[in-house]
Chain A
Amino acid sequence: MTTVHEPELLLGVEEPTEQHERREPGGFYRWVTSVDHKVIGKNYMYTALVFFFIAGLLAELMRTQLFNPNGHVVSLQTYNALVTIHGSIMLYLFAGPIAFGGFANFLVPIMIGAPDMAFPRLNNLSYWLYLFGGSTMLFGFFTASGAAAFGWTGYTPLSTATYSPGPGPDLWIASVAMVGFSGIFTAVNLVTTIFYLRAPGMTMFRMPLFVWSMLITGILILIAFPVLTAALVMLYADRHFGAHFFTVSGGGVPVMWQNLFWFFGHPEVYILALPFFGMISELVPVFSRKPIFGYKGMVFATLAIAGLSTGVWAHHMFTTGTVLLPFFSALSLLIAVPTGIKVFTWIATMWGGQVKFNTSMLFAIGFIFAFVMGGISGVMLASPPIDFYTHDTYFVVAHFHQVLVGTTVFAMLAGLYYWYPKFTGRLLHEGWGKANFWTMFVGFWVTYMPQYLLGLRGMPRWVGQYSPSFTFLNRVSTVGAYILGLGALLLLVNLYVSWRYPIEAGDNPWDGHTLEWATSSPPPAHNFHSLPPIRSRRPVWDMNHPEYADAKVPVVAGGDESAQ
């Protein structure tokens, strides 16, 4: 049986001119008013990268302060503000938005063969809420009493009006609430798009794993973010309207904040991680020239991680003495199982493949190393006796930085190097890319390994000054942070080089498997002039390599000349 595509049955916009009957705005106004998911996705990515470099600068300032045991680079109050805003930017404004607002916004509709997101104008609103809300957080530095200084977790009673007066904390609350709404809107958009706008033949179990990751991330956002928003409203009411949700004097319970916050906060960790797992699951098969090992296993592992992540919130609260230790410990330890399935699946996909070690793949492998290291220390922390010993020490700092830098920076960069040709039509430079990778990879280990040792020796978190006995390891960590920062700057160099001296990418430079490689780079308005038939999980591979096609039904189509 052969499938023949007739022109009138092509999917997507055949005659885009009809779309432009109305006068198209130009320049800046066009950018502000665009509802195209690709434009909005790019806006998200660039904005998130700007926030990333701002937060990275704050981190370098902190590490400079910690170079000496009694550093005087900044005051201790400013140090607390730096810690808070660094963490808040990285978690609320960089890691999440670049994944579900940036990469997913751009890629998910194309990967499932849709012309746009289901709610394009809501998508645009999400971006503005994110940009306005995100900038609001930084305003705190320009107020007389300084920015919020109670940590990205905003624990009560420290964040109440008594201990954190002034407008800085209120700006933080307003900022996080707005960014939270932006995330909820994007999640609604993603889930709806994936459920209702897939191309014909794109069944749920043919969707690329990145799309699965984003679907599950979207559902997790819908579970987690509203709880945070509610908690923020309660906190604001405590601060200004005389409510007593979290103050003991009025019959409130301070620890309830921790319950509410971490019911958001732990799923949030997986909201940050799952999209990047999805990216790795896309590019490892392509650069190994093999299909993914165990597709359904990956889908169910993602579902299992997401499910379990909502039942472990109180493992951040072991030392409060108010939580059910065996329940939260057991569920936390269980997460290691599906996560392990993922790691083994990536390794098994590479195993026996023709692995191509370009920059993207190097970042992917770097991610696996970093994530496994951070994950193992996470399993240790899931055990209450170890947590009692290391709680609020640098051991925890090292753990979550290895997990988060591993996923949200290394895996993000793997994805950026992989999809940058699709975003822009240009390749990133391989030489600069490899320098980018190796500098960051070395900096990563030099920065965080000493922090494990510092934590085990008892150095607490949240301190701008410390006992002189910790000096040497802190200096090593600071030097590592500078190397890491230098590596991050090389990314900017590479982006500049690619912009000034473009290397044409073509539509399908990597011989990719999924639908985004079936359209031009960058894709046209509404994404596709034509779609290949979708008869397997790798429609573009089937089209370009009919002799090795996954599809059981033979596929005949035009093919893609730019694929090797």
Chain B
Amino acid sequence: MRSESRIYLGVGSFFIVVLLIYFFWSHESTGSVLLLASAGLGLLPGLYIGWWSRRMAPRPEDRDVVEPEDISGVIGQFPENTIFPFVIGAGVWFVALGFVYGVWLVMVGIGFVLGAAYGATMESKRASWSEPENAASVPRHH
């Protein structure tokens, strides 16, 4: 995790340096705010991942040489076919078109999005991949 943290911290530090030079040289506010926000985008996850990387052992993907006994286990749970992203996408589309063609379309779109959000949550609850015995069918390290 150390390299990952350093990448984000590098992004954040770079923006701090550029921000300081830019702000004190140009006194221009729009660009300075954007640079400040970008610095935050680098520093926040960088510090968080860095904090964790000091408190955990290197993962198998962080080690140069991995022995077979290090890598048995579960990668994670992966979903199966689902219609709900399509429905959410269509709902968002109706909302976007509603800004052009009228508020009624926004209402339809919000209905789609809420319905799909509910459906997706319920689907996750009952989907077979969330059962422990099926989750084990994608073996991996940890």
Query: A133 and B101: CB pair below 8 A?
Result: no
Name the residue among B22, B100, B141 with the largest chain A CB count within 10 angstroms. Answer: B100
B136 vs chain A, min Cβ distance (A): 9
Query: A115 and B41: CB pair below 8 A?
Result: no
Chain B, residues 9-30, CB within 8 Å of chain A (1/0): the string is 0110011001001100110101
Residue of B nearest to A202 (CB): B61
Size category, B interface = 35 or more
Secondary structure of the B contact surface, majority rule: helix
Q: How far is the CA of A136 from the CA of B109 in the complex (A)?
A: 15
Secondary structure of the A contact surface, majority rule: helix
Chain A, residues 384-397, CB within 8 Å of chain B (1/0): the string is 00000000000000
Chain A, residues 257-295, CB within 8 Å of chain B (1/0): the string is 001100100000000000000000000000000000000
Query: A132 and B100: CB pair below 8 A?
Result: no
- Tell me if B68 counts as interface (CB < 8 A to partner A): yes
8 A Cβ contacts from A1-53 to B: 3-6, 8-15, 18-19, 21-22, 24-25, 29-30, 32-35
Q: Which residues of B contact A535 (CB under 8 A)?
A: 64-65
Among candidates A30, A132, A534, residue contacting B90 with C-beta atoms closer than 8 Å: A132
Query: B72 and A174: CB pair below 8 A?
Result: no
Query: A9 and B85: CB pair below 8 A?
Result: no
- Given known A129-B92, A311-B18, A327-B22, contact A30–B81 (CB-CB < 8 A): yes
Name the residue among A174, A201, A259 with the largest chain B CB count within 10 angstroms. Answer: A201
- Given known A129-B89, A132-B89, A178-B93, contact A4–B41 (CB-CB < 8 A): no
Q: Which residues of A contact B99 (CB under 8 A)?
A: 170, 173-174, 236, 240
Q: How far is the CA of A144 from the CA of B76 in the complex (A)?
A: 52
Q: Which residues of B contact A203 (CB under 8 A)?
A: 3, 61-64
- Tell me if A559 counts as interface (CB < 8 A to partner B): no
Query: A120 and B139: CB pair below 8 A?
Result: no
Q: How far is the CA of A175 from the CA of B129 in the complex (A)?
A: 35
Residue of A nearest to B62 (CB): A203
- Tell me if B34 counts as interface (CB < 8 A to partner A): yes
Q: How far is the CA of A127 from the CA of B76 in the complex (A)?
A: 23
Query: A8 and B80: CB pair below 8 A?
Result: no
B26 vs chain A, min Cβ distance (A): 4
Query: B88 and A125: CB pair below 8 A?
Result: yes
Residue of B nearest to A122 (CB): B85
26 cross-chain CB contacts under 8 A: A11-B139, A19-B80, A19-B134, A22-B80, A22-B128, A25-B81, A120-B79, A121-B82, A122-B85, A124-B85, A127-B89, A178-B96, A195-B4, A197-B75, A200-B66, A200-B141, A201-B65, A203-B63, A203-B64, A204-B4, A222-B41, A303-B7, A303-B10, A310-B15, A526-B78, A553-B65
The residues of B with any CB-CB pair to A shorter than 8 Å are 3-4, 7-8, 10-11, 14-15, 18, 21-22, 25-26, 28, 30-31, 34-35, 38, 41, 49, 60-68, 70-72, 75-76, 78-86, 88-90, 92-93, 96-97, 99-101, 120, 127-129, 134, 137-141
